[in-house]
Structure 1
Amino acid sequence: MANRSLLGRILSLLLLLSDRQRHVMAGAGGGGGPANLDNPWQSRVHQLPDKYCTVLFRRSTHSTGSLVGCSTKSKSSAQTSPLIYLSTASEIETYVSTVISSPPTATLTAVIPASLFTNSTLTKLTSHSVTSIILLDDSTPASSPSTAQLLNLNSWGVPISLVQDAESQDLLKSLASSNAESSSSSSSSSSSYNFPYPRYESAFNYYMGPSTATSEICLNWQNLDGLPSPQCKPLGGQSIYASTSSPSSSSTVMIALKIDSTSFFHDLVPAANDAAASIVTALLASREIGRAISAAPSGSKNIAVGMFQGESYDSMGSLTFLKNTVSSSKLSCEKQVGDACLSPLYPDLSFQNLTDINTMIAIDQVGIIQEENKFFSHGYNGEGDSMSQIDYILQSLTTNNFSVQGSSQDTLPTTPLTSLISTHSNPDSVTGVVLSAYDSGYTDPNRYTRFDTYEKINLEAIAAAATLAARAALADAVSSVIEGGVDAAVSWAEAKIPEISVDDELLVELSTCFFESGSQCDLVKTSVASATADAIDATGYSIYSAGLGSPPNYYVGVYSSFYSQPYVVVDGRAMGGTEDVEAFQSSSSNFIGVQASELELTLKYLLASYLNTTAHFHPAVDTDLTPESDANLDMWVVGDGDTPLWTEPNWDSEVGLAVFNAGGSEVNTIFLDVISVLIFLATLAGGFKYASKWKREKLL
């Protein structure tokens, strides 16, 4: 192969590329059917549909390391190795003992059932010649070990993919079995895992940066010309908030919740209990508050609802919002135009008009009941150990089937309430409570996994939680102005807000939307259509939103120009902010916009509708990041604080997992060249998905 002419190699590549294009997903003659890598009329390369573990970066000083997730080692070629299939825990143990006594000469790809995937299994395999893993999705929630324990895994150099469809799983088992048979029939092999040619191998093309990468390095990266060229994007999005209006009030009680989640595979984040249940609960509660608030006496507190994005990544949404509203270091804008700030760019400064948020009801994981007909309140009182008023109110409330009991734990779970306590300029004035279905720790084993799905969600519990949250907020809001004090306020709120039925039409519609149909839900379609029409009327430009997915996916995603980062357009140039107020005001064609996600647009639309008020966006991104003014989008000023600084690297449009028939070293080299040429051609054609331009400027 070393003496082969360049022309010959190119001809071979073109033949394989043509063959790959025509036959990679088809049977002989293009008539469909399973892939056959031995058929000369089919491709020797078969792309597999998979879900993959991606890399995230953090700050270099992060206590548990700057890199989380999975990546291949090389940016110039795919990572290849022969396939082995280990179907049981016993087979894994046998494999380990075999390779200890007789190690293979090549590294291997282990194909295993996802139900066997644990930290222990991963350590055993990667310590004994396995450098890549393919999981076959055989699992059910009952049989699957919790992958939540692997969320902080640093698996750089060991790519991990999940294959879900039955046909691809059967193909992988068959190819691995063929390897095993060829090894057992070979008399020259010194190890049962030395597979003679021809053999079947995997090819992982999942390079996402070097093992030494950090968020600071990738955000401050410069290209070969010395120009800024960030190689990652922050995680983030847009939080949503709305408030009833009570001009005479000096304080606000807020219902708060997270709207995102995570899992080992970022494409599979159903988050039914971790996020969607809270969303449905808060929207139902908002409807009830919107119906009742007009009866509140003059002088009542404001009632606000805050839906925070990015909470699964160190509470970035609530911390950013509360830093700007209740802390001693609130946003100071010197480049304000109307209701917007041009630098740092905030399209909507309405949060500055909120009265002091000193009471909070955080809703967390209310869809799966730990104890029958019971919720728990995790209370906080900044003034001391006594029960706070809002905790007392919540525990005083009941529905026909549910009551609220004080938690047995002294430590608060991490919610927007902990963000309020940590950011408030006067923490002694803060009171709050977490309304949850758990008492002593998170009891749902499927939290932060792909199995947090709707099948176990208790809609009766959600209806009750919404009733309780709405009544508690309303009772607290009127408690200081209604005759009879707190107990009278509780009775008044119970009379004003009827109990929500499990058959409530809106409950059924919201549940179908946020648990199952996602982007296909009429509520989502209507909300996005309304926001798009408003954007076109205001700016002449449409909105191209990141989809919620169907079924929905609640991973926060990246914060960039097409994914929720606000932008200002001056003389046709889109920037992350501008210091030039005069230039911005010089033309009516200049404008400020934000490409919020389908989820964010929907929640903003619905929250405003149910509370009968105006809802607003607020950026949810690391508090130590500021968009650079008068610069292109996706340019950041990185502070030197101690925030986690979560980022996701730019990655190539040709990432993926394939299997191929390795006929020998020459065929292997041709295959690797195929992968490289595919990437090169994609680069020439500009064939990148957004958040992926990694060639010349990719991390070294």
Structure 2
Amino acid sequence: MNFHLLALLFAAVGVSGLDKTTSMDKPFQSSTFKHLKHSACVGLYHRNGRSGCGTTDREIQSGPLYYYNGAENPPAETNYVAVLEEYKFSASIVSTLMGLSGSYLQGILVLNGTVTDTSGDSTSANMNGVVSPGPVYPLGSGTPSENIGYGNTEYPWNGNGDGLNQYDLYGVPIVYVNDEEPSQFIRQASQSQEQESEMGSKIMSNFNYYMGPDGITSKECLTWKDSHNDKWNPKCLPLGGSSVWAFAGSPPPQQVFKSASYESAQGDDAAAADADGNGRKLKNNANIQYNVYESQKPAIIVGTSIDSTSMFHDLAPGTNEGATNTLTMLMAAYLIGQSLNDEALDALSNRIVFGFFEGEAYGYIGSRSFLNDVLNFSCDSDYLVNSVSKDANSELACLYPMRPNMKFKDIGEIAGVLAVDQVGINMEEGLLYVHNDGGGDFGSFLANVLKSSGTSYHTVAASEAQNNNNNGGDYPYPPTALTALQSISGGAYSGAVLTGYDYVFPKRPPYQSHLNWGNGGEISLKSIASAATLMARTALAAAYDDGSFDYETSAAYASNTIAELSPDNEIMKQLYGCLVHNGHCRMFNKHANQDAKNERSRTNFEIGTGASLGTPPNYYVGIYSPEYGQPFVRVGSQVYGAYNGVNYGEKESDAVGMQPRMLQQALRNILNDFLGRGQTDGNGRSCSSESDCTSIDYCLTDSDSATCSAKGVCVCKRAYFHTALDTSISAAVNTDPGFFSLDYDDEQSPIWTEPFWSSTVGVKMYRDTPSGPGYIVLGVGVLAVLMALSFTRKVKSGLQKEKVY
């Protein structure tokens, strides 16, 4: 029995003394701490270099925890991991740590600050002092996007910003600890680390976060070739995805078409194919034509961004950015659809086009792509095809450069842009602001309509930004789709921007921060309802105007036509819940599922419901790939990102498709429902998918077609996807999706990319106990056992002598 005890003692002491990763006192024995739940600061590349975080190579970086409060210097000449409160996380603190400790800083843990600190003060009270990690000049001077700005690019819109998300933090991995309880434990452990060290043990953290090498650019990582075989093997993917745009009213006559001349796709027997073109493909030498009708109506682009960003890319809530922008625009579309039928909209002097643009935080990716295509894109006749080869009535697509549909070319001339930005929070109660330089008739018209079209809760005032423009010179437009259009056109177009801020972004919640959430009633549904009403009325007034720019008459018409949206509107409250709290909500699921079902019936591709915003929603744009919005074309048994061969259409399965994210799928289906009811009251033909919606008589024009809404009703098709990809990048031809060329590089756009990184990345925590104390304990234990055995023998011998034993 004593030998069993001795063996157990050796085993127990051996484990505690020799295994450094399993001897963890509470709470560090928990799996929560072995693999810490966190959100990472990701490294990104751009045209000129790198920004973001990551380790220096594939080796793990580790060190003991050190709680840094800014008052004392970190340990000298020894590796450590800094622990920061999120209200102290800033460019100045990070720069200080990097300057003080050089290569000894192994990483940074940023703690969730919604708990109570050791002094008993609520750390959330310190959030008022939190700075924005975004640049002072958003998408302007000193950023990779400065070359695509317009007007005054040195205006400090984000006065609370320190530009940390533009820093190259190569060699410094940084993560945010998501949950409150682990943050509290880490806080207490790091604050008591000095005492722990004296007892011979330390709480350690290691980082496995290699995000690619330093010193290269997006162009280099996109065109990377392996040295041993010279094979093209990109090391990153572009940022991007899908934008969504929609007509209000019937679509205009088709502006781009190919002559109805076919060649056999299946042999001579196919020459007698049905009139609908089954079994045929468009001749490669057929003539492409661009019709520009004299009666074509100019389009007012009503646009906004649907994304955001932060230092931690899977924690970008964007509540007063992408979320409220999207909600405002959806409700403006709802008001237009509720107030006017197609006949009334078609009779207006101008056309309304809604644009929900993706990737705006990274150089106006969505709006530049869309607006540049509307103005400048053309498709060679060899590559203009039916998007579903077996259906001659399907939408046209361009195989190279890849565009999944060409409907955007039907928009025609652009009148200007009406944009909306950050209206969820008012800088002054009851006031919204309009930004316009007064330099163009159309933009001034929009501004005057806005200022004369208040609601029960809000009036609109002219922004004072120009008067606060210390640099003078060009007008400081906020960074929106209007800036993108002005940049592309060299200022040939004008417009106006409706915002919740005057001459500087709100300080709380901070711009482009993981703290830009909707909490404590800060987001005002009254403000959003007012902004939606104003956007809808102003768009309608602009569509009504006959070119005389009589804003009073047009504004009166719009106000009499569109009733004010109530902040208690049930649809708006449902959408608010989806966009702010639960991006995987039932409403989005229903509409996205229906959109995917429609695409399956149209293309026969296995399109599913895309990746959701998550819970809580995350508005980081993400990578551009076949799983997240990159279009693709199937030719026979091959799938390409773009195609310039001659075999498309030889198989009935040949088609162009795409798999968008859930948000974009839901937006398209919702917009079709809001704007596509035609001449009905919403009670049209029932359906289960798009294939049930042919020959719908309440879709008025020959260029119209129908699809199935999530309500199971055929509606007129009004909404479409558009590629949101940097204008310098295009999908590589005759190659798998995920490969990109720079054939159209304009030497101006920022070209943001995200490097590939291992699935094993992460952060671990453990207690590091040196082996020395273990061996001492082991020796003491062995000695105690031997003494006990000796004592036992002596006692036994004595008892035997006394004949008691």
TM bin, normalised by shorter chain, reads: 0.7 to 0.9
1:319 is matched with which residue: 352, 363, 368?
Answer: 368
Partner secondary structure for residue 557 of structure 1: coil
2:724 is matched with which residue: 620, 623, 646?
Answer: 620
Pairs within 5 Å for 1:522-541: 522-537=586-601, 538-541=603-606
Q: Is the 8 A contact 2:28 2:765 kept in 1?
A: no
Q: What residue is the counterpart of 1:635 in the other structure?
A: 739
Pick closer, same or farther for the CA change 1:249–1:583 going to 2, 3 Å: closer
Q: What residue is the counterpart of 2:384 in the other structure?
A: 336
Partner secondary structure for residue 429 of structure 2: coil
2:37 is matched with which residue: 41, 49, 59?
Answer: 49
Larger-Rg structure? 2
Q: What residue is the counterpart of 2:62 in the other structure?
A: 80
Distance in 2, matches of 1:576 and 1:246, equals: 28
Structure 1: which amino acid aligns with 2:372? K
Shift of 1:117: 1.4
Q: What residue is the counterpart of 2:222 in the other structure?
A: 219
- Structure 1 residues 535-581: Cα deviation after superposition (integer angstroms, max 9, x where no partner): 3222141325222101111110000121111111222222101112x
1:569 is matched with which residue: 614, 634, 644?
Answer: 634
Q: What residue is the counterpart of 2:29 in the other structure?
A: 36
Structure 2: which amino acid aligns with 1:300? S
Shift of 1:179: 4.0
Q: What residue is the counterpart of 2:501 in the other structure?
A: 438
Distance in 1, matches of 2:412 and 2:298, equals: 5
Shift of 1:665: 9.4
1:653 pairs with 2:667: no
Q: Is the 8 A contact 2:42 2:52 kept in 1?
A: yes
1:462 pairs with 2:528: yes
Shift of 1:107: 1.6
Partner secondary structure for residue 583 of structure 1: coil
Q: Is the 8 A contact 2:207 2:763 kept in 1?
A: yes
Partner secondary structure for residue 436 of structure 2: strand
Pick closer, same or farther for the CA change 1:319–1:138 going to 2, 3 Å: same
Pairs within 5 Å for 1:170-185: 170-173=184-187, 175-176=189-190, 179-184=193-198
Q: Is the 8 A contact 1:467 1:500 kept in 2?
A: yes
Structure 2: which amino acid aligns with 1:225? N
Partner secondary structure for residue 35 of structure 2: strand
Indicate the RMSD between aligned Cα atoms, in angstroms: 2.8
Structure 2: which amino acid aligns with 1:147? P
Distance in 2, matches of 1:493 and 1:182, equals: 70
Pairs within 5 Å for 1:321-470: 321-327=370-376, 334-338=382-386, 339-381=396-438, 383=440, 388-410=444-466, 411-424=476-489, 427-428=491-492, 430-445=493-508, 446-455=510-519, 456-470=522-536
Which 10-residue stretch deviates more, 283-292 or 412-421?
283-292
Q: What residue is the counterpart of 2:354 in the other structure?
A: 305
1:125 pairs with 2:181: no
Q: Is the 8 A contact 2:593 2:609 kept in 1?
A: no
Pick closer, same or farther for the CA change 1:444–1:173 going to 2, 3 Å: closer
Distance in 2, matches of 1:514 and 1:646, equals: 25
Q: What residue is the counterpart of 2:622 in the other structure?
A: 557
Pick closer, same or farther for the CA change 1:534–1:84 going to 2, 3 Å: same
Q: What residue is the counterpart of 1:9 in the other structure?
A: none
Structure 1: which amino acid aligns with 2:113? D
Shift of 1:124: 2.0
Shift of 1:451: 1.7
Q: What residue is the counterpart of 1:679 in the other structure?
A: none
1:200 pairs with 2:203: yes
Partner secondary structure for residue 749 of structure 2: coil
Structure 1: which amino acid aligns with 2:312? F
1:603 is matched with which residue: 662, 667, 678?
Answer: 667
Q: What residue is the counterpart of 1:472 in the other structure?
A: 538
Q: Is the 8 A contact 2:245 2:719 kept in 1?
A: yes
Structure 1: which amino acid aligns with 2:79? T
User: May I ask how many residue pairs the two structures share in their alignment?
Assistant: 605
Partner secondary structure for residue 42 of structure 2: coil
Shift of 1:320: 0.8
1:136 is matched with which residue: 92, 100, 111?
Answer: 111
Q: What residue is the counterpart of 1:280 in the other structure?
A: 327
Partner secondary structure for residue 454 of structure 2: coil
Q: What residue is the counterpart of 2:148 in the other structure?
A: none
TM-score, normalisation: structure 1: 0.81
Q: Which structure 2 residue ranges, 5 or more long, are not aligned?
A: 1-14, 115-123, 135-161, 253-294, 387-395, 467-475, 677-716, 773-805
Distance in 2, matches of 1:210 and 1:543, equals: 35
Distance in 1, matches of 2:408 and 2:92, equals: 47
Structure 2: which amino acid aligns with 1:95? N
- Structure 1 residues 453-477: Cα deviation after superposition (integer angstroms, max 9, x where no partner): 1231100011111111111111111
Shift of 1:110: 1.2
Partner secondary structure for residue 128 of structure 1: helix
Q: Is the 8 A contact 2:251 2:718 kept in 1?
A: no
Partner secondary structure for residue 108 of structure 2: strand
Distance in 1, matches of 2:234 and 2:532, equals: 43
Q: What residue is the counterpart of 1:115 in the other structure?
A: 87
Q: What residue is the counterpart of 2:72 in the other structure?
A: 94
Identity %: 31
Shift of 1:246: 6.7
Shift of 1:299: 4.8
Pick closer, same or farther for the CA change 1:481–1:381 going to 2, 3 Å: closer
Distance in 1, matches of 2:425 and 2:337, equals: 27
Structure 2: which amino acid aligns with 1:163? V
2:241 is matched with which residue: 209, 222, 237?
Answer: 237
